[in-house]
Structure 1
Amino acid sequence: MSMPTTTIAGRPLEVNEEGFLTHPDDWTEDLGVELARLIGIELTEAHWVPIRFLRTDHAAMGETPTLRRVSTQTGIDVKTLFGLFPKKPAKKMAYVAGLPKPKGCV
């Protein structure tokens, strides 16, 4: 079964049924900017701290970190993460970072 392909920032990319990248290695920071724009977020330096942490942690651990892990490891409180990525911060951070959504995230 093949995954849907979408074009983002002029590049064809494989995504799952929810629009998450299926190949995290396809991600670039430019693509992250475009993914954020698609969900109504304009990235600031404050957004890049958790996004870069997600990328590094995913590469090391083999799975997308949870919201609690992002908060404890980066020192950014959960309320701030909700401010940066409103409503569903764990899911939105993973989406923008080009990673699968975290386990237990609906």
Structure 2
Amino acid sequence: MASTEIYRYLSVPEGNIGLDPEGYLVDLGQWSSTVAEALAEEEGMTLEAEHWEVLEVLREFYARYQMAPAMRPLVKAVGRELGPDKGRSIHLMRLFPGSPAKLAARLAGLPKPTNCL
């Protein structure tokens, strides 16, 4: 469950966006593509078309199930929506290094996936 405690702010043209201690949005309603790009920039990333399609799958998953998927459900959802070549752990690791489920959820403006350390 997302913390309601604001640890720091992300400054974007729309204003200051409250983040929790792990960098997830405190208010999920404040997400925008600008916020995603600013969060990605903090990670040293530039969001390309392949990133955006995964982020869209994540946001649709969240709208349907009211939770951000851990790695296995993320791989399945991406595979179902974008095809078997993209629904592979190796593809998601390339796009979202480290912990793809956590990083992609954060960039998509979703809470931290359950069962992710």
The two structures have a TM-score, normalised by structure 1, of 0.90
SS in 1 for 2:68: coil
**Is the contact made by 2:24 and 2:110 (CA closer than 8 Å) also made in structure 1?**
yes
The residue identity in structure 1 corresponding to 2:105 is: A
**Alignment match of 1:81 (pick from 85, 92, 95):** 92
Query: Is the alpha carbon distance of 1:78 and 1:12 closer, same or farther for their aligned partners in structure 2, counting shifts above 3 Å?
Result: same
SS in 1 for 2:9: strand
Q: Give the CA deviation at 1:30.
A: 1.6
Gaps of 5+ in 1: none
The residue aligned with 2:70 is 66
RMSD: 1.5
Gaps of 5+ in 2: 80-86
The residue aligned with 2:11 is 8
Q: Give the CA deviation at 1:40.
A: 1.1
Q: Give the CA deviation at 1:3.
A: 2.3
The residue identity in structure 2 corresponding to 1:60 is: R
Q: Distance in 1 between matches of 2:8 and 2:46?
A: 24
Q: Distance in 2 between matches of 1:4 and 1:20?
A: 10
User: Could you list the runs of 4 or more consecutive aligned residues of structure 1 that deviate by over 3 angstroms after TM superposition?
Assistant: none
Q: Give the CA deviation at 1:54.
A: 1.0
**Is the contact made by 2:10 and 2:19 (CA closer than 8 Å) also made in structure 1?**
no
Q: Distance in 2 between matches of 1:81 and 1:2?
A: 30
Paired residues in the alignment total 106
Asked whether 1:29 is paired with 2:40, we answer no
